[in-house]
Structure 1
Amino acid sequence: MTDLNRIELHLHLEGAAPPSFIGGLAKEKKVDIARAFDVQGGYAFGDFAQFLKVYEVATSVLSTPEDYYRLTLAVLEEQAEQGILYTETFLAPDFCGKGDVSAWREYLAAMQEAADQAEAQFGTILRGIVTAVRHFGPDQAKDTALCAAETAGDWIVGFGLAGDERMGQKRDFAWSFDLAREAGLRLTAHAGEWGGPASVRDALDHLRVERIGHGVQAIDDPALVERLVEDGITLEVCPGSNVALGVYGAWNGHPIQKLRDAGVKVTVSTDDPPFFHTSMTDEYDHLAETFGWQDDDFRAINMTAAQSAFCDAVTRERLIKKLEPTDD
């Protein structure tokens, strides 16, 4: 498929860890996490609830800043192989120092060092979005928001909410989002993957986000679709993830084309690619095969991603310049 430069706005760092990396780290530490893998060596789960459990089992072997340094390098090498210029990744202080600000700074320094090394070596740029885990509850989210606020800057550029969308209410996390907003962070939240259109509306009303992670179930509410268009809300769409988890039964039933036709700003990301047996190249191939997308379509969604990215203006201009078509 197309070899155009690409931008990814919705990637969970731990969820992007190659199974071989996690398995190797577990062997080094003499930790038995065999239950996390299938017989082919991939991650083993059957539904969304099992996915969350396996995710936490795999993440459990990542216990030091050095582990996250190595993880970041491994993930960014794969991003570069996929032609991805720029990535925004979700980072959870719950997994990096258990929400303690001092410990979080140590993990963050390790990830930034790896990101700088990868940018110099591979040319791909990484920025972080500190993310509260919804099923850990709103009180823990406040600690996460404090970690975000204390480290906001050119590298930590956003704050978000992930985890089990079916637990708790968006309004319960409003304090955390207010704190992050006051610290100058840009805001996104997972919604409309499992919670229907109402979850998207709640994220807009109570958390006042400018991007929605997934958001695809908004298609079931025409008035909400109109609101997304009017308010210029960008959706971080992950079609392969949605199909793998059964949100939609097949690619031809996915609403990304309908949302785009309606004027919604859509981007394409991989979410947790090794879990869902996908890559950005796979996503593009499926979009081309299913909806007939061509280079101009992919260039347009990447321009949307560049314009919706939480990076500084100088970085954005660099990205846009690299996305523009060449004369040759």
Structure 2
Amino acid sequence: MKKIVISIILLLAVQAQAQNQSYITKVLEYVPAPGQFVNVLPTYASGDNATSMCAKCLEYFNQDYAVSLGAYGGYITVGFDHTIANESGEYDIKVLGNAFAGGAEPGIVLVSADTNKDGLPNDDWYELKGSEYNNAATFHNYEITYYKPTSSTDNVRWTDNQNKEGNVLHNSYHTQAYYPQWINMSTMTFAGSRLPDNGAYDSSQSKWIMAAYDYGYADNQPNTSDGCKLKLDWAVDKNGNSVTVKGVDFIRIYTAVNQAVGGYVGEISTEVTGVEDLHPAKNGESVILTGINPVNKNSEVYFSNGEIIIQREYPCKVYVYNSQGTLIQQWNHEGGMQNISFTPSKGLYIIQTGVERHKIIVQ
């Protein structure tokens, strides 16, 4: 058994040597709602499926092109080559879009940590609480269903759980099918929080203005402003309770306004051109924590700024092993929080606290 564990550790240590990249390295899900830029940004071709469309999205991001999420609810899930650390009090990520003054199409941002370590975005999701979260006009637990039209040039009908219905209107500016062509289901249902309508017609300028919200959303403020930066400190659970996330592995963005405006603007649809980790170097000194023996886990262990930090209620012996299984440091932990100086080289280390084992990756 010991030999198997060490083999896995060695493999992980080799993987840990790669330099963290600041930008998206994978697109795991792309499920847009119907919209006038769907099947165009990126372009659908006959034979494409969910996997090939995700690959096309990644190609678009690598070229700074926009990916459209369609009308309300359409989403994309992306990942990096590392865990994005929460640097408390700082902006942690920057979500890039194509917003401009008077042209905001806000999307809500969700984050998730790969707690089950299967590499898939199937763990708990947390919303990053933006400025409109507590707005009385924001609907939480909103749900909408779109119905695939008979003809590719037909409007796309929708109904929601507020007893409303409407259409994503097909217009003359974009003549392709608006319903995602690689999705065979006859209906698509999305759920989440719905932000207040932000579009209003300005008669003095004879055009529609989509006002930006104060903070906390994608495609809401120009990429050059701090308004497109977000903090992991803003994470809340489905009940609106603040949660502490030490790091996240997946980011999901979805169109959060259900409004159609006139002219060429059509439905409000969030566009994304990328996501950036604002401190990838710091992440190398942040915890990537995995309980190898998570049963009855009562220790929290992480590495930051050249120190191992352990929070544990009860006293125990602490042992630090390198990826070859060699003991390199040990001490008695008296209980509570303790900081121990630790200046290792890059690699993977196992920290044993009592019967529990944790791993940290120094990059």
Higher-Rg member (1/2): 2
Same fold per TM (> 0.5)?
no
More helix by share: 1
Q: Which has the higher strand share?
A: 2
Greater relative contact order (Cα < 8 A, sep 6+): 2
TM-score tier, shorter chain, comes to under 0.3
Normalising by structure 1, report the TM-score.
0.26
